[in-house]
Every structure is written in structure tokens, then in C-alpha cells.
Amino acid sequence: MSSFELQAQVGVLSLLVIAGSGCAERAKLPVSKVAPPAPIAAAPMPKGWLVGAHASSGAPPGLVIDGDVAEWATLFEAPSRSRVQEQRASEAGGAHDAASRMEVALTPTGAVIAGQLSGDARGGVWLSLAFRSPELPVLGRWTNSHATEPARCQAPGEPEHWSGRILTEDEVRACEQALAEGAALAEQWHARFRQRYLIDESGVRVATPSGLEPIPGVRFAWKESASGASFEAGLPALALPLCAEAPLSSVALYATTRAGRVPSPDDPSRSAWFELEPPIGFEPHADHRAFLFEKWYMVAWVNGPLAYHPGDPNTIERAGYAPQDEFPFTDRMRRRLYRSELVRKERNFGDLEVGTIDGQGVAVWRGGQLLGTAEADVREWVERDGELFGVSWHEWTDTETWIDQASFEALAIRADGTFRMELVHAPPVPFMHWAGVEEVKPSEDLRTLVIRGSARIDPFQEWRTTVVTWTYDPRTRDWRPKLTHAPAPPAPPAPPAPP
């Protein structure tokens, strides 16, 4: 293992330890919280310290990494600097090096960088590359307005602002510690979405907490000329920052001469943002990530953001809340990063593969290509009548009535990879409500599905012991219900007639 890979793994390990010890042993993703070596960081900022940089989607066709940038037409067609870079140069008292320029092309397997350097830039350039970093979940308390109210730590003896209860000194201290840990985790989280590289005639190196490190698998060529130097570099996905978009739609760049000021990882406002058209999906699993992120976007405001590292294609990171019981006033006072497997293939059906995406729903592949997905939490499978059937059952408590409920669901996968859904028919009554569930039992071969409990089919009837039995029908290839009830209690005797 290279020093760069070791630094990456150690950095993530420390991040996950802050987030929660339960995730630490699985840490593998590279981290990009960087601090440049002191001698470089202390260097003065001369005139001409900014270098023009531009980003695009996809490398030039037939690209050969040989240091000759003739095939990079965008180097000469694109503006040599952005308005943001020009403004920052003016504010800093520096000037833009118009003769030097760089192009960063994001690709499904990493990035390709080309540069044409002159003057001070000929001695090397710093390049800062960043992806957008989403905010972590707010620490506080979930309210009836379906939002988290930010936490505030009262002084000992003062009433807690949610409940009015007087907090103890230990409770206040725990609150303050939780907020401090949350701030530290957020700082490290955002830093992982930025990476910095030093590019000179010796190659491309990445800035790590211990200094500059070579990048395993990088391809590089440097070419000297009378007017300066040119280079081309192919970076593997391992060298990129953490990403929270699928596909990736934008990237921020910030480049300076090596003798100038090093791009600060804590000042992304100096970067110029470029939209990628078309967006870049990192392979493998670009289509799976796009499906997951589109689905997750609808609930991310509640559950926290998703992220992944392009160099670890089958791992998803999810930022959420840690389970806890030490805070009597709220359950959202600690953050944690959860890691899960993006693609898990669990069984075969003919030439199809069946599994899950991020442990959710059902996904079907043929020859590695995703054919379709379905919303279902299948617990048992059975092959029957030329199809693969998946059956799920759920038991829960209705939070409005606080009465136990239950249900069955089923789907079928055809040989062509398409789905048939909603194969468990509802009981043939206009109204049915459970007052409590005693048994939920599928048969071993899944031909019969049974729910037993107290129910009534009319709001004006008494509760009665009810059994719903669904039986598989081979003609329609679905499950049909039948209701049975305990006998109704006998009517009370009529009162005696008056004398």
C-alpha cells in the first residue's frame, strides 16, 4: 500500500471514529482534508500568481498522454480565466498569468488534465479541485412541523427551551460536547469534497496532512519548449474527492503558480465553478447511483445526504443521526456516517440476476445491465409457473390509533426481467379494520398467507376474531383472499315482561 493510500484510509478512519465507533472498522475511502507543507504555504504571492483553468466533460477523442496538447482545442477556445478568478486576482493584488492555462476533463474513470505553462507557472502549478458538498443534518429536535429545530445549550439552572425542564450540569455539558463534535465532523466532511494537487516536471502529487504524496496509477507526460512547458496527466478515480452528485454536474477549479499562494482548502469561494455538459457518471455503477440519488433526493431533507467516492464504486456513505439515549431532551444530537453496499446481487433466475440497490427495493440485471427496479422489501422468494415470486409481509403499529396492523405484498419477475406488482388482493369487503394482530404466517411454499386477529368489516359491528387466508391461484398467478369469522356472540336475553 502506498503512503497516499495509507493516509487516505487513516483520514477516513479518524472521521468515522468521531461520527461513531460502529462504522470505524469499515473505513476505506480516501479523504481529502489537506494541509500543505509549511515551507510552501509560507511562500510569498508574486504578480501573475493565478493560472487560467477550465473544466469540461470527457477527454479529447484518441487522446495519447505524451505532453503534446495540440488535441486540446478547448485550451485555446475557452476563456483563459473566469470572472471569479479575475476578480480574486484584483482583490489579492496579484495578476492573472494569461499565457498559462489548464484544462481539466472529467471522465467516467477519473480525470485528465492538460496544461500549457510559461513564466513562473513553468516551475509548477497548484490545482484545487472541488465537488459540491451538502450540509449535514441539523443537530436538534424533530418537531411537529416536520423539521429539526437547532439545538441550544442552556446554562445550568436555566429551563430547557423545548420542555421547560431544568437541565443538570452534566446534561448541559453533554449538549455542548455534542455540538462541538458535530462541528468537527462537519468540517472534516466538507474537506473531503476538495482535493489539491501539485503538478510539475516530476509528475502529479496530492497534498495530504503529512505532505505531498505520489498518486498510484497516474499517467503523466511533461514536454519542454522554447516558450515554456506543456503536460498531460491522467488521474485515476482514486485521486478525486468525495462526490455527492450522481451524475456529477459541476466542478470547481482554482489554480496558482507553485511560487504563489497555495489554494486554501478552507476558502472554496476563490474557486470558479464550471457546469459539466453532459454530466459525468463514474463507472462502474453510474446508472445504479443515478437511480439511488434521484430516489433519495425526495427524502434527503429528512434523512441526510448521500455521498460516494469515485475510487470505491460499490460503497455509499449516508450522513444521519446516531442512535442514542443519553440526551433526555432530544434524539438528534449526534451525527454518524453510515456505509452500505451499493449493488448486491442475491440470486439468479434463468439468465437474470436479482438483488438490491443500497439494500432497498428489488433490482434485475441481465449481463450486468440494469433492466428495472421495483419498490418492495421481499422476505421470501419462490420460482413457480415460469416466474420468480417475491413475498413480503409487514407488522406495524398505527401511530394514530396505536393498534397493531399487518399486511402481505407480492410481486413477480417475468423471464424478460419485467415486473408484475400488487399480486395480493384486498379482502372483498368495503371496510375492514384490525383491532389487533395475533399471527402473521406464510406457508413454507408461499401458497397460503394468513393474518389472524381481531377485526370488523363494518364500523357498527362488534370486534370479532377474524382470519384472512390468501391462497395462490395458478390460473391468475396471484393470491386471492377468504375471510372467516368467529361466531357472533349470542344476543342478550330479552328482559322479562312487566307483570
Q: Are 269 and 242 in contact (CB under 8 A)?
A: no
Amino acid 17: pLDDT: 33
Measured in degrees and rounded to the nearest 5, phi and psi for residue 130 equal -140, 150
Q: What is the CATH number of the domain that holds 124?
A: 2.60.40
Residue 269 within any structural domain of the chain: yes
Asked whether residue 394 falls in the same domain as residue 275, the answer is no
Residue 308 within any structural domain of the chain: no
Q: Are 57 and 278 in contact (CB under 8 A)?
A: yes
Residue 267 within any structural domain of the chain: yes
Residue 369 within any structural domain of the chain: no
Query: Last residue of some domain: 258, 280, 302?
Result: 280
Report how far residue 284's alpha carbon sits from residue 311's, in angstroms, rounded to the nearest whole number: 10
Amino acid 90: pLDDT: 43
Could you tell me the CA-to-CA distances from 16 to 136, 184, 335 in Å, in that order? 14, 11, 10
Q: Which residues contact 385 (CB under 8 A, 6 or more apart)?
A: 474, 477
Q: Report the number of distinct structural domains present in the chain.
A: 2
Q: Which of 44, 54, 106, 105 is nearest to 76 (CA)?
A: 54
pLDDT tens for the chain, 499 residues long, are: 544 544 444 344 334 333 333 333 323 333 333 333 333 333 333 444 778 888 899 999 889 999 999 888 765 565 544 444 444 444 444 444 557 889 999 999 999 999 999 888 888 999 999 999 999 888 887 766 667 778 777 776 777 666 677 777 887 888 888 889 999 999 999 999 999 999 999 999 999 888 899 999 999 999 998 888 999 999 999 999 999 999 999 999 988 888 755 656 545 556 788 999 999 999 999 999 998 888 776 555 556 789 999 999 999 998 888 776 555 555 677 888 889 999 999 999 999 999 999 888 899 999 988 999 998 999 999 999 999 999 999 988 877 777 788 899 999 999 999 999 999 998 876 556 777 888 999 999 999 999 998 887 666 777 788 899 999 999 999 999 998 876 655 656 767 777 6
Asked whether residue 388 falls in the same domain as residue 272, the answer is no
Residue 170 within any structural domain of the chain: no
Asked whether residue 390 falls in the same domain as residue 275, the answer is no
Query: Last residue of some domain: 264, 280, 296?
Result: 280
Residue 38 within any structural domain of the chain: yes
- Which domain does 223 fall in, by range? 30-133+192-280
Report how far residue 296's alpha carbon sits from residue 304's, in angstroms, rounded to the nearest whole number: 9
Amino acid 325: pLDDT: 53
Cβ atoms within 10 A of the Cβ of 86, count? 17
Residue 231 within any structural domain of the chain: yes
Amino acid 149: pLDDT: 75
User: Helix/strand/coil (H, E, C) string of the chain?
Assistant: CCHHHHHHHHHHHHHHHHHCHHHHHHCCCCCCCCCCCHHHHCCCCCCCCEEEEEEEECCCCCCCCCCCCCCCCHHHHCCCCCHHHHHHHHHHCCCEEEEEEEEEEEECCEEEEEEEECHHHHHCEEEEEECCCCCCCCCEEECCCCCEEECCCCCCCCECCCCCCECCHHHHHHHHHHHHHHHHHHHHHHHCCEEEEEEECCEEEEEECCEEEECCCCEEEEEEECCEEEEEEEEEHHHCCCECCCCEEEEEEEEEECCCCCCCCCCHHHCEEEEEEEEECCCCCHHHHHHHHHHHHCCHHHHCCEEECCCCCCEEEEEEECCCCCCCCCCECCEEEEEEECEEEEEEECCEEEEEECCEEEEEEECCEEEEEECCCCCEEEEECCEEEEEEEEEEECCCCCCEEEEEEEEEECCCCCEECCCECCCCCCCCEEEEEEEEEECCCCCEEEEEEEEECCCCCCCEEEEEEEEEECCCCEEEEEEEECCCCCCCCCCCCCC
Residue 347 within any structural domain of the chain: no
Asked whether residue 390 falls in the same domain as residue 273, the answer is no
Asked whether residue 202 falls in the same domain as residue 64, the answer is yes
User: 473566469: which residue's cell?
Assistant: 82
Query: Last residue of some domain: 261, 280, 299?
Result: 280
Asked whether residue 97 falls in the same domain as residue 225, the answer is yes
Residue 379 region by backbone torsions, left for phi larger than 0, else alpha for psi between -120 and 50, else beta: alpha
Asked whether residue 272 falls in the same domain as residue 408, the answer is no
Amino acid 479: pLDDT: 98
